[in-house]
Structure 1
Amino acid sequence: MRETPALSAEQQAREEDLIQRVLRSFDECTNPRLKELMISAVENLHAFVREVRLTEEEWLQGIEFLTAVGHMTNDQRQEFILLSDTLGVSMQTIAINNEAYDDATEATVFGPFFVEGSPALESGGDIAFGAAGEPCWVEGTVTDAQGRPVAGAGIEVWEADAAGFYDVQYGDQRTAARGQLSSQADGSYRFWAVTPVPYPIPDDGPVGKMLEATGRSPMRAAHLHFLVRAPHCRTLVTHIFVEGDELLDSDTVFGVKNSLVKKFERQPVGTPTPDGRVVEGTWSKVTFDIVLAPAGA
């Protein structure tokens, strides 16, 4: 960090007077939480400006950057989520709001590609719906923190295809590599997906330019998304990651947690599948046992 020049008492007084006047402007706010958030945000923003001695040109560049982020955002792409993710703010918020609870499965980033109303599957169904990729058998159980099976838990899953794209990135209204199903009476679940592959986040916008300018990669480690909901349990948003992926230590949104790294076992050509499906070529399988924390924990 560069050295901060010594400031005269007069200059320090002027800067301090300004921040105090801004803070007093919230005195009549009747929403205690909103008042707390605004005061803290203003205090920290002013502290940043004063610490780095922000120039007017730099501030204008920052405003132009955020404006570009807004212009890039639409119904199919949320550039602000990408910005939050790549700055680690999403993961920090998740960490604060999903405190550790016994052996409950850890949460990670939601990401910008979830879509409401994905196709419903029967147990053992296939979320690929034509998405390119090596078939992958996914199975596991859903239990509560006391180890009791959770029947009827809603499980939504989504992922990129073998080319590293989500269905919404194609722009042709396709629905692929996503679906939803429920856990069985014994808490078990199973479905077909495609083996996850690494891919870059959309980097043709301002967030991509920020990563390039700061010498960072846009690549995400290979993963499969899960959203799990059940009565009396804390909703879980998480991924599982592929053991051995070279990007596990450099995931651009800081989403990897050791507990979520799973072994995707590649099966040789001709290996019988769990449900008798005939697969041309190799396929993989993975087990992911999900433990839900209680609601309010």
Structure 2
Amino acid sequence: MTTLAYAVRDSRTMLRRNLKHMLRYPSLTIMLIAQPVLFLLLFVYVFGGTMGAGLPGGGGRDAYLGYVAPAILVITVSSVALSIAIYAAKDATEGIIDRFRTMPIARSSVLTGLVAAAVVQTAFAVTVVLGLALALGYRPDAGVPGWLGAIGILTLLAIALTWLCVALGLAAGSVETASNTPMFLMIMPFLSSAFVPTDSMSTGLAWVAEHQPFTPVIDTLRAFLDGRDPGSDAVWAIGWCLLVTVLCFAWSRRLFSKVRAG
């Protein structure tokens, strides 16, 4: 068996391990899904009528549901990623990583298994939130290419944010710190085009919103689900996701090699 085959086999084992952990603590998954669900209901039923009227071309609650639903899906990805920092910190501080180092397994499999499990958990959470949005009346106009594009950009974002949270978890030093460090991922969407168009913001805030990673990702997802060409937004979205993935993968590998149980 080749080195790559061993790494794939060990990564599958770690994937099963992390999925079992997630199944044993379903309350965390429920909480992670509950947050974007609450945002969806809040912004549609409390603010939707007023904010929908302010969209280009006007509209009401239904129009705002179509505008905000893609943003809530992105927030769902961020919400799930937060939990991965906790899992990574837990492994780093409880000595399990040191134990894995004594076993004849591919070291890369410990982190790749965690990331793969997070992507599976993200897919489940996104499906639940999308199902609720459809039940509320959201009707995407995407064809097959649009749906494939939407799945692709959500997957890239999930991988990027997961590697970022793995690094933050390994660097945290404690589970408590790891639970708070990635919270900026839930704040940044509020400073983007998630809930209102950037041209409705003040000049300085609009500049920040237009030049942060979440805006092109949300605009790209929104375009795919609306059946439109995302144009340059897709280039920026993919570029941001790849950049974060590469940098945080390298950072995670470096931190992993230095982990010692506290």
Pairwise TM-score range, normalised by the shorter structure: under 0.3
Q: TM-score, normalised by structure 1?
A: 0.24
The higher-RCO structure (CA 8 Å, 6+ apart) is 2
The structure having more radius of gyration, on CA atoms, is 1
Q: Could you tell me the TM-score, scaled by structure 2's length?
A: 0.26
1 or 2, which has the higher helix percentage? 2
Q: Which has the higher strand share?
A: 1
